[in-house]
Amino acid sequence: MKGLLGTLGAVVIGWFIINLIGALLVGALARRILPGKDSIGWFQTIAVGFLGGILGKVLAFVAGYHHLGIIGQFAVSVCGAIVLLVAHRVWLATKAKQKAAS
């Protein structure tokens, strides 16, 4: 039993690390495609990649694309991350306008 739990733990840790690397790649590519003055670090880049992946895959599923290959999943993840970056920039611009008006 101990060997099974150790193997399961290693699989979970490996899955987590692979997802972190994938989220970093997606976030970094989205930031490369949409350059700007975003002052976000590695953690935020990983968060943008992770949340963008979720957003992109959910939107693709709702649109009827149920069976995407790995390239398709990566592409919709990057698109979702770009949507999040645009939303972040719009939110910052709105916040700056409100601050300037007051």
pTM: 0.82
- Which two tokens mark 71? 């390239």
Q: How many CB atoms lie within 10 A of CB 19?
A: 14
> Which tens digits make up the pLDDT trace of 28-82?
999 999 988 777 888 999 999 999 999 999 999 999 988 889 999 999 999 999 9
Judge residue 90's burial from the number of C-beta atoms within 10 Å of its C-beta, 0-12 exposed, 13-18 middle, 19 or more buried.
exposed
pLDDT (0 to 100) of residue 12: 85
The residue to which tokens 């970056």 are assigned: 85
Give CB contacts under 8 A, 24+ apart, made by 90-98. Answer: none
